[in-house]
Chain A
Amino acid sequence: MANLFGKAANELPRKIVVGILIIAALTVAGIAYYFTPKYTRVGYMPKQPIPFDHSLHVTGLGLDCRFCHSFVEKSGFSNVPTTQTCMSCHRMVKADSPKLAALRESWESGEPVRWTRVYQLPDYVYFDHSAHVNRGVSCFSCHGEVNQMKTIYHKTPLSMSWCLDCHRNPEYFVRPQEKVFDLGWQLPSGQSQVEMGKHLVEQEKIQPSDNCSACHR
Chain B
Amino acid sequence: MPRVENAVDRAESGRELLARPALVLNEREASWVNDAVCSVVEKPAPLWWWLAVVAFGVLAGAVPLVVVYFISTGLGVWGLQSPVFWGVAILNFVFWIEIGHAGTLISAILLFTRQRWRNSVNRAAEAMTIFAVLCAAVFPLFHIGRQWMFWYMVPVPESYAVWQNFRAPLLWDEFAVGTYFTVSCLFWYFGLLPDIASLRDRATKLWKKRLYHVLCWGWTGSLRAWRHYEAGYLCIAGVVSVLVISVASVVSTDFATTVLPGWHTTIFPPDFITGAIFSGFAMIVTLMVPLRAAYPRLKDMITEKHLDNMAKVLLATGSLVGYSYLIELFMAWYGANPYERYTFWNRITGPDCATYFFMFGFNVLLPQIFWFRLPRIHPWILWTASVLINVGMWFERYSIIVVSLERDFLPSSWRHYLPTWVDWGLFFGSVGLFFFLFLLFLRVLPAISIAEIKTLLAKPRRPREPEAPFDEPEPLLPSREIYGLGAEFSSEEDLRRASEETRKKGYVWWDAYAPHPIHGMEQAMRLPKSRVSFFVLMGGLLGLLIGIAMVTATSVPRPELLRSLTTGQLQGLFYATVVQGKPYFSLPAFVPVLLELTILFAAFSGFLAVVLLSRLPRPHHPVWNWGELSRRATDDGFFLVIEARDPAFSPAESREFLERLGGRRLTYIPR
Contacts and interface: CB of A to CB of B under 8 A. Distances in A.
A7 interface: yes
A3 B571 CA distance: 51
Nearest to A40: B159
Contact of A4 (B157, B158, B160, B619): B619
Interface stretch (B5-13, B70-78, B181-189, B623-631): B623-631
B621 interface: yes
Contacts of A9: 619-620
A2 B630 contact: yes
Contacts of B571: 161
Interface string A1-43: 1111111111011000000000000000000100011100000
A6 B213 CA distance: 13
B145 interface: no
B572 interface: yes
A164 B161 contact: yes
Contacts of B617: 13
Given A5-B210, A5-B213, 5 more contacts: A3-B621, A4-B206, A159-B159, A159-B160, A160-B159
B625 A3 contact: yes
Contacts of B625: 2-3
The number of chain A residues touching the other chain, given as a range, is 20 to 34
Scoring B159, B206, B566, B572 by chain A CB atoms within 10 A of each residue's CB, the highest score goes to B159
Interface of A: 1-10, 12-13, 32, 36-38, 157, 159-162, 164-165, 168-169, 172, 212
A38 B571 CA distance: 13
Nearest to A17: B617
A166 B621 CA distance: 62
Nearest to A168: B567
Interface of B: 157-162, 201, 206, 209-210, 213, 566-568, 571-572, 575, 577, 617-622, 624-625, 627, 630-631
Nearest to B210: A4
B470 to A, nearest CB: 25
Nearest to B213: A4
Contacts of B618: 10, 13
A159 B158 CA distance: 9
A157 B627 contact: no
14 contacts: A3-B621, A3-B625, A5-B620, A8-B620, A10-B618, A13-B617, A36-B159, A157-B159, A159-B161, A165-B566, A168-B567, A169-B566, A172-B566, A212-B577
Q: Is the interface of B mostly helix, strand, loop or mixed?
A: loop
A38 B159 contact: yes
A164 B567 CA distance: 6
Contacts of B621: 3
A192 to B, nearest CB: 13
Contact of B619 (A10, A36, A169): A10
A182 to B, nearest CB: 24
B619 A13 contact: yes
Scoring A32, A161, A212 by chain B CB atoms within 10 A of each residue's CB, the highest score goes to A161
A36 B158 contact: yes
A162 B618 CA distance: 50
A168 B565 CA distance: 11
Contacts of A13: 617-619
Contact of A160 (B162, B213, B620, B631): B162
B568 A161 contact: yes
B619 A5 contact: yes
A29 to B, nearest CB: 13
B130 to A, nearest CB: 23
B190 to A, nearest CB: 18
B150 to A, nearest CB: 15
Contact of A10 (B213, B620, B627): B620
Scoring A1, A3, A13, A169 by chain B CB atoms within 10 A of each residue's CB, the highest score goes to A1
Given A159-B159, A161-B160, A1 B631 contact: yes
Nearest to A159: B159
Contacts of B630: 1-2
B627 A1 contact: yes
A212 B572 CA distance: 14
Given A36-B159, A161-B161, A161-B572, A4 B567 contact: no
